[in-house]
Amino acid sequence: MRAKLRHLWKRHPFATAGFVIALAMIAFFTVRFVAFSIYWADPAHRQQPVAPWMTPRYIAHAWDIPPEDVMEALGVTARPDRRPTLKEIARQRGVPVEIVLEEARALIAAQGAAR
């Protein structure tokens, strides 16, 4: 087996390196997919009460709401470079965190009523 790998490396170094990189990427994304699936399959992570540590994207996943709707309801106009928490969004807007929490709760209630 080693001789075959050594032969491939000597004859086709770029193709072999590309194949190894492709295998590493497949492994990475497979592990990421499985971890994500296991996390969100747990009912404890779905429909949790809104808390200051949550991000808009977390709320979107937990309550099955489009992320754009969550961002709009919380007053985030531009897509941020990183994922701000509700507490950081409140600080950026200059309002108490309870106001942002209430906006998120109102969105969740409105989405629930729409279903």
pTM to 2 decimals? 0.67
Residue 54, both tokens: 């949550």
Q: Assess whether pLDDT exceeds 80 at residue 115.
A: no
Give the percent of the chain with pLDDT over 70. 97
Q: Assess whether pLDDT exceeds 70 at residue 113.
A: no
pLDDT of residue 33: 97
CA angle 49, 31, 83 (to 5 degrees): 40
Encode pLDDT of 86-109 as tens digits: 999 999 899 999 999 999 999 999
Least confident residue range of 1-5, 10-14, 75-79: 75-79
For the residues 28-45, what does the mean pLDDT come to?
91
Q: Assess whether pLDDT exceeds 80 at residue 68.
A: yes
Q: What is the mean pLDDT of the chain?
A: 89
Q: What is the dihedral of CA 22, 40, 55, 33, to 10 degrees?
A: 0
